[in-house]
C-alpha cells in the first residue's frame, strides 16, 4: 500500500532540524528582535531603540525627548499589546517544533507549522508597519516644531532620512534567528517533499 505524502514519517535529519528550531526560538525570548538606529551630527555616537519580545530598550528616553518637540507620541512598553502576547507566540512555535521533532513526526505537521510560521511573520511585519505609520503620522498639532506636510514614519527595513536624522531599521539578533528558523523549516519542508514516498 502506498502511503500518502502527508502521512510520511519525517527523517531523523529533518526531526533534528526541527528540534534545533525549537532551541533557537527559546533563545529569541532573551535577545532583541529588532532595532531602529538614529544618526545625526549632534549625536555622533548614534541613538538606538531595541525591541525585545517583551519590552523596549536602548536610548528610549532620549528618543522620547526628541520626539516630543516634533509632536510624536512617547514610547512605553506598556502601551503595546504586542509585548504581552509575543513571548507566548514564540513559546507556542517552540513547542510546536518540539512536538513535530519528538512526538508527531509526520510531514503534514511539519508543513502545518511552517505555514503558520510564515503567516505569523507576514502578520507581524504588517503590524509593525501599521505601528510605524501611526507613530510617524499622528502628530501633536501643538508641537514646538511643525514642518508642513512632513511625517516621521521610520522605515520598515533599511534606511530613511527624517529631517537631519538618518533612521536605520534592521533585524537584531532575535530577528536574524527568526529568519534562520524560517529558512531551516523551509529546508526541512523541501527535503521531505523531495523524498520518494515509501510503500507498504
* Angle, CA of 144, 150 and 156, to the nearest 5°: 115
| Sheet of strand 158-162: strand arrangement | 56-58, 43-51, 34-40, 165-171, 158-162
Domain-located, residue 199: no
Task: State the DSSP string of 68-109.
Answer: HHTTPPP--GGG-THHHHHHHHHHHHHHHHHHIIIII-BHHH
Domain-located, residue 3: no
- Cα–Cα nearest to 136, from 155, 121, 123, 111: 155
Domain range spanning residue 171?
A: 11-192
Domain-located, residue 200: no
Q: What is the model's pLDDT at position 168?
A: 95
Whole-model pTM: value is 0.91
pLDDT tens digits along 25-73 = 999 999 999 999 999 888 889 999 999 999 999 999 999 998 888 888 8
Domain-located, residue 2: no
Domain-located, residue 5: no
Domain-located, residue 63: yes
pLDDT tens digits along 160-179 = 998 888 999 999 999 999 99
- pLDDT(1) > 60: no
Domain-located, residue 76: yes
Count of the separate structural domains present in the chain: 1
Domain-located, residue 51: yes
Question: β-strands 158-162, 56-58: how paired?
Answer: unpaired
Cell of residue 17, nine digits:
532540524
CATH of residue 42: 1.20.140
DSSP bridge partners of 9: 106
Amino acid at each position: 500500500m502506498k502511503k500518502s505524502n502527508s502521512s510520511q514519517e519525517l527523517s531523523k535529519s529533518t526531526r533534528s532540524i526541527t528540534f534545533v528550531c525549537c532551541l533557537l526560538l527559546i533563545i529569541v525570548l532573551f535577545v532583541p528582535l529588532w532595532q531602529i538606529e538614529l544618526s545625526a551630527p549632534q549625536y555622533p555616537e548614534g541613538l538606538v531603540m531595541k525591541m525585545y519580545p517583551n519590552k523596549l530598550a536602548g536610548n528610549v528616553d532620549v528618543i522620547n525627548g526628541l520626539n516630543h518637540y516634533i509632536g510624536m507620541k512617547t514610547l512605553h512598553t506598556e502601551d503595546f499589546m504586542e509585548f504581552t502576547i509575543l513571548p507566548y507566540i514564540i513559546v507556542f512555535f517552540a513547542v510546536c517544533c518540539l512536538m513535530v521533532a519528538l512526538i508527531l513526526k509526520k510531514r503534514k505537521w511539519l508543513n502545518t507549522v511552517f505555514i503558520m510560521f510564515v503567516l505569523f511573520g507576514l502578520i507581524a511585519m504588517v503590524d509593525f508597519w501599521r505601528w510605524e505609520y501611526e507613530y510617524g503620522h499622528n502628530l501633536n498639532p501643538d508641537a514646538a516644531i511643525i514642518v508642513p506636510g512632513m511625517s516621521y514614519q521610520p522605515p520598515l527595513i533599511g534606511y530613511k532620512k527624517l529631517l537631519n536624522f538618518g533612521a536605520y531599521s534592521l533585524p537584531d539578533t532575535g530577528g536574524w534567528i527568526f529568519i534562520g528558523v524560517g529558512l531551516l523549516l523551509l529546508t526541512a519542508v523541501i527535503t521531505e517533499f523531495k523524498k520518494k514516498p515509501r510503500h507498504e
